Copies of this chain bind each other. A is one copy, B any other.
Amino acid sequence: MPTNVVPIHGRRKADTTENPIKVLQGLVADDMNLVNELILDRMQSPVALIPELAGHLISSGGKRLRPMLTLASAQMIGYEGKRHIGLATAVEFIHTATLLHDDVVDESNMRRGKKTANLIWGNQPTVLVGDFLFSRAFELMVESDSLRVLKILSNTSAVITEGEVLQLTTANDLSTPEDKYLEVITAKTAVLFAAACEVAGVVSDQGREVEEALDSYGKYLGIAFQLVDDALDYSAVQATLGKEIGDDFREGKVTLPVILAFRRGSDEEKAFWKRTVERRRQEDGDLEKAIRLLGQHDTLNGTIDRARHYGAMAKDALAIFKDHPAKTALLDIVDFCIDRAY
């Protein structure tokens, strides 16, 4: 790490024994077992390549954060039925299908520390198995017997793809305004978080206020989550987690840390960003220089401060709900998503 990097300002909490993800996992463990069974059941097909390819990603140790949000939301509001199990599974399938297609689109080689499906089996079956999981997600949604759930999730799915196309068209544009960037991350990440929470409200039939509060919580959490992800891609913390840093830089993805550094930079620095990110002509040492510039202009902290703003909005959205261990866990998860930057 270069010595002139301004450190990300420390707000890390004192370590407690309880990791909020673990707390959340404990609270929803019974339901999550049902979700995991349903995932395995519904990714089956007489065509053996389908469960093989889908299973490669599904069993690769993702956190199952999105289905966990559905399950915890349902628990917080006292839902006692079983319809949230299928919906949590549908949400995870939509997410997995999106990842498969993303890896084809981005020509990625690694995901969650494993070779990507497109690298192992090629683009052809990866695109098709993504389509298969989308279809299975819709089958699960249909089984919920709720047209409102179907409206929410089918619209979510359309908005995600719009967001990804929008990202393609803005990908290399360093003058992307912040609101456009926000639009992209809302569409590609936050709307699925929002839907994951909202559908729990819909099946529990407690009215629009509850649904809207869950929708807001999920949306703002999703925005905060993606902002932190975009900061982490340039952060030494990411490296300590065993993940590679600089993926976004190498792919020429214009994320907020870079947008801010470009805007705040000198002419020489602007030329550097244009060469490396817009034209993607990168040399040895460029990533290190990029990280140094982000530090000089303090843009990782700028990005995380924004995440904190959205995190506060997410937490406020839950104010209408009574105290409940699931509510506490959902509140703590917001801080956890932000604090993983430290």
Contacts and interface: CB of A to CB of B under 8 A. Distances in A.
Given A132-B161, A132-B162, 8 more contacts: A47-B169, A49-B169, A50-B162, A125-B168, A128-B164, A135-B160, A142-B151, A147-B147
A158 interface: yes
A160 B131 CA distance: 9
A139 interface: yes
A134 B132 contact: no
Closest 9 CB pairs of A and B: A135-B158, A138-B154, A135-B157, A132-B161, A131-B161, A105-B124, A142-B150, A139-B154, A47-B166
B162 A136 contact: no
Contact of A147 (B46, B135, B142): B142
A157 B128 contact: no
A166 B48 CA distance: 9
A204 interface: no
A104 B125 contact: no
Interface string A136-155: 10110110010100110011
Nearest to A156: B135
Interface in A240-276: none
A105 B132 contact: no
Nearest to A136: B158
Interface residues of A, number: 42
Interface of A: 45-50, 101, 104-106, 123-125, 127-132, 134-136, 138-139, 141-142, 145, 147, 150-151, 154-155, 157-158, 160-162, 164-166, 168-169
A38 to B, nearest CB: 15
Contacts of A125: 165, 168
B151 A139 contact: yes
A191 B164 CA distance: 30
A104 B131 contact: no
Nearest to A149: B142
Contact of A165 (B50, B154, B162): B50
Contacts of A160: 131, 135
Contacts of A105: 123-124, 127-128
